[in-house]
Amino acid sequence: MVKQINNRQAKSRMGPLLRRRLSLILEKKKLLRQSDHLIIGVSGGPDSMALLHLLAAVHPPDQLTTVTIDHGLRPDETPQEIKQVKNLCNTLAVEHQTCCVDVNGLRRKQKCSLEAAARELRHQQLEEICLQKGAAAIALAHTANDQAEEVLIRLLRGSGRKGLSGMNYRQGRIIRPLLGECKEELIHYLLEEGIPWSQDSSNLDQNLLRNRVRLDLLPRLRTDYNPGIDQTLIQTAAILNDEEDILEQMAQTAYEAQVGCSTTSEEEIAGPITPLTLNLQPFLASPPALQRRVLEKVCWQMQARPQFRQIEQLRELAMRPEPHGQAHLTSGLRVHKQGSTLLFHYPSGKHPYRGN
């Protein structure tokens, strides 16, 4: 559904202010250099159209490539949205690409949600084009409103401190230059500049958790509990994000001091995933918060995604007075206590495995 623009005089000029703030955040967060090529994910919605227009004003247009992903889910709407994005790209002299992905196919194959399949394929396509273009980063149009929703969703799902710190301005090659901007001001900007945008009808589908949070839960919280709940969630995420940076530095230092590669087996060293050992003497002297983070880092290094209960299982194993013991994690990952060390390895390869 394409939003029509009313030709009305904006009360104040948002353009110069938003462009100045964007330039400052790109510099302050070290998100982009003038010589960098940038990929921009543009769906045709108000946030991504504003991001494209703003970036084209502060970055050389020939260093920008926009990508629109056709998920194959809304055939009646998507062609018009793509046309709208192309029109803006032509006006700005910015390259545009369209990619088609099979969301339903991946959903059936992986037995995951529609949202998860769409997100995975979308990021996969953007990463591929980023590599093809030799681009420095991929810009996504997440806003402060999205941050508030994301923090609340993660809280509902039981995330810890790291999850509740929300989205970052940079995550790998992904950058989010508008994470501090509210949607209302971006729409004001589009109206001011006379830029049309599209409204994705799936954003009204309350079968999706994110939409229920946006359309039902947050309005109730604003009305019945705290009119400023959005800002409260955003501020909480910012505080936790800053604290997360410090804890992550501490965890990395502890990891480097406590974890090493195992040389107990030539067969294991020859495998695709090198076994790791954890020195329990300094580990057990660390606070529980650092212990959990070090164990999580070890598991990630072993290509495993531990849950909280598994981390606690490993902490319990490490603290046992007995010099020997073991724990079984997913996909055949074994953790053996051997005196003053924990050995993380795949004795039978990385695949679902049970046995002694």
**What architecture (CATH level 2) is domain 15-241?**
3-Layer(aba) Sandwich (3.40)
pLDDT in tens, 332-349: 899 999 999 999 999 887
CA separation for the pair 80, 40 (Å, rounded)? 19
Measured distance CA(212)–CA(264) in Å, rounded: 52
- Report whether pLDDT(308) > 80: yes
Cross-strand bridge partners of residue 276:
261, 344
| Residue 112 confidence (pLDDT) | 84
Contact yes or no for 256/174 (Cβ under 8 A): no
pTM, rounded to two decimals? 0.80
Which two three-digit tokens encode residue 184?
Answer: 């209302």
Kindly state the tokens that stand for 171: 């995550």
Give CA angle at 181 (180, 182), nearest 5°.
125
Q: Would you say residue 101 has pLDDT above 60?
A: yes
CATH 3.40.50.620 domain span(s) along the chain: 15-241
| Tens-place pLDDT, residues 158-205 | 888 888 999 999 999 999 999 999 999 999 999 999 999 998 888 888
Distance CA 152, CA 68 (A): 28
Residue in 181, 141, 195 with CA at minimum distance from that of residue 17: 181
What's the topology of domain 262-345? 3.30.465
CATH 3.30.465.60 domain locations along the chain: 262-345
Alpha helices in 15-143 (DSSP H): 15-28, 46-58, 78-92, 103-110, 114-133
C-beta separation of 173 from 130 below 8 A: yes
pLDDT higher than 90, residue 237: yes
- State the average pLDDT over residues 34-39: 96
Least Cα distance to 237 among 145, 320, 157, 327 occurs for 145
Sorted by sequence, the CB contacts under 8 Å of residue 336 that are 6+ apart come out as 324, 325, 326, 342, 343, 345
